[in-house]
A and B are shown apart, each in its own frame.
Chain A
């Protein structure tokens, strides 16, 4: 197993209020699995990714990555096994540095030494990786990342997250802030890079059509629990309408969830 979560609970205290974001989540990901995660607002999807990445500690439960218990490891220490892409395209890159410098930082995980950050060989390698994105970015290595569009920046972030071949890729609604055309392009790039590198992937999405179309397994979360865990075969026969009724069955009456479902259907 690449990822093993056992009995993960997380309670946030906001003043006198206690919010149970996760209530005993057990989840295992085998090598090469591509799991999509959907859920209502406040289902605990982002908290789950934060706990896996280590930016947030679980109240109870254990996190194992590649067989090692990393529950108490700080985020930067487990980063060597994890690539992550956030919803905000600005979060994954350093705007004032060049495309080449950003990518060069992503070539390796872990502490840095005093070797040169960019060599001729590295430049060639990065150019090739960029050309593979098929977005015409290979000639723009010396440009500052701030000059790229949101879609271009997010595609570069996905490339950066996979460049060092981590064991686990975490995608946190990473196409949600993009316009439909760019969202599709970034998703296509993501699927291609994941397939080629065979990195085990966990993708949170708010679009049910995306969750059904992409990946080999689907998980539905609600109020801090995993309510549905569907494999490739079960997933294939499912429609957005099926999913909506499954959501209703677990008691989701959230207006926003239905809104997302409709939007998902119309763009499917």
Chain B
């Protein structure tokens, strides 16, 4: 039972990151690796500000802004300077590694005993464990999902979706596709950094290494959700990302708890995650081969 509660709670908080990866990877069709840097950036900014006495809500908002700026930076590299998308993301990620260390002043910042935006809300609403935190996380994740759905049905959001589909067509209707990519990556990385800020407050520390594999975890969530829901609209795609995120966190908690019996340790986690993503990505090709569609 506690495992289930934790999976949903973590799944929803990390779900903001999965939504961010959905925006870059699926909406813009941009394989953005900056998220491995913007997730800990959000954590670092929020942790440093909270330790400096800032209100945790304000600190989380500033973290979101910092992530958006970093995402826009990747977008500018990829569009205005025509650097390959993958490389642009990697460059931002590496720069952020140093920057995150500077923001934190050391590799790890503990937040024990500091106010957390999540627990403050739980207390303010007079909620009780174990479901209080789940409820707050659900309100937050569904709220962000709802705003995202709304945005992608505005003129601007529709133009952004069309950019991932057919940038030339977007240009023909007087919209600069480069602007759409920059805005979209800002949105995506803003969400990822917000997730990082909340995860730091949830787990009680920010660590410079906590971003490693963010893109893989985000992709795993998006792909697992897609396999379940086969979404054809934005509304279902965002549901899929959130549910996928919960399943992914659940799988990790199970692996951590029972994996030891099979000889796995926590350090094998990244390998297992990557294998899950690999399996999901290979599935269509394998299925086609089994059906004999490909020689």
Q: Which of A53, A77, A106, A114 has the most CB of B within 10 A?
A: A114
Most buried by A among B153, B155, B156, B174: B174
**B86 close to chain A: CB less than 8 A:** no
* Interfacial chain B residues near A56, Cβ < 8 Å: none
Q: How far is the CB of A106 from chain B (nearest CB, A)?
A: 6
A-B pair count, CB < 8 Å, reads 89
Known contacts A112-B154, A112-B155, A114-B156; A97 and B174 CB within 8 A of each other = no
B159-182 CB mask vs A (1 if < 8 Å, else 0) is 101100110111111111100000
A116 touches B168 (CB 8 A): no
Complex Cα gap A104–B153 (Å): 11
Q: Are A105 and B153 within 8 A (Cβ)? A: no
Interface size on A, residues (CB 8 A): 37
Q: State the interface size on chain B (CB cutoff 8 A).
A: 23
> Is A91 among interface residues, defined by CB-CB distance under 8 A?
yes
The reply to whether A93 and B174 contact each other, CB–CB distance below 8 Å, is no
A83 smallest CB distance to B (angstroms): 8
- A76 contacts B169, C-beta separation under 8 Å: no
| Given known A-B contacts A91-B168, A97-B165, A113 and B174 have beta carbons under 8 A apart | no
CB contact list, B28-42 vs A, under 8 A: none
As a 0/1 sequence over residues 227 to 262 of chain B, the CB contacts with chain A under 8 angstroms (1 = contact) are 000001000000000000000000000000000000
Flag if A94 contacts B173 (CB, 8 Å).
no
Residue from B154, B169, B176 within 8 A of A94 (CB atoms) = B169
Q: How far is the CB of A160 from chain B (nearest CB, A)?
A: 8
Question: Which residues does chain A contribute within 8 Å of B176, judged by CB atoms?
Answer: 74, 76, 111
Whether B153 pairs with A97 at a CB distance below 8 angstroms is: no
Cα distance, A91 to B168, chains bound together (Å)? 7
B172 touches A79 (CB 8 A): yes
The distance in angstroms between the C-alpha atoms of A94 and B157, with both chains bound, is 14
Selected contact of A117 from candidates B154, B169, B172, B175, CB within 8 Å: B154
Partner of B174, one of A55, A91, A111, A116: A111
Smallest Cβ-Cβ distance to B171: which chain A residue:
A76
